Amino acid sequence: MDPAANPTPKDRITVYGVKWCSDCRRTKAVFEEEKVPYIWIDIDENKLGEKFVLATNRGNRSVPTIIFPDGSMLVEPGSGQLRRSLEAYKTKQTT
C-alpha cells in the first residue's frame, strides 16, 4: 500500500503500533522527549490501521511503523535513528 494512501492527516506524523510492544512504548517516549506531536493508531483496535501496516510491510505486523507527512517511513527504528529523523522533521517545520 502506498504511504500516500495513509488515511490519517497529512500534516502530522502517524505512529502505528500496539500497547504491549516495548519498541512502541520506547518510540512514544522518544516522541514525548523530543516534544513532537503525533497521531497514535493501535492496530489491535483499528483494523484499517492494521490493514495499512500489513500492506506496507509485505504482510507483516511490523510495529512501530511511522509515517511522516512527506510520505517517508520508518519501521521498527532504533532510538538514535528515530531521534535523527525527528530532528530533521523539526528542522523542516521551522524553515
Condensed to tens digits (0 to 9), the pLDDT of residues 35-84 reads 999 999 999 999 999 999 999 999 999 999 999 999 999 999 999 999 99
User: Looking at the predicted structure, is the pLDDT value of residue 30 above 80?
Assistant: yes
Q: How far apart are CA 24 and CA 42, in angstroms?
A: 10
**67 CB-near residues (< 8 Å, 6+ apart):** 3, 6, 8, 13, 14, 16, 73
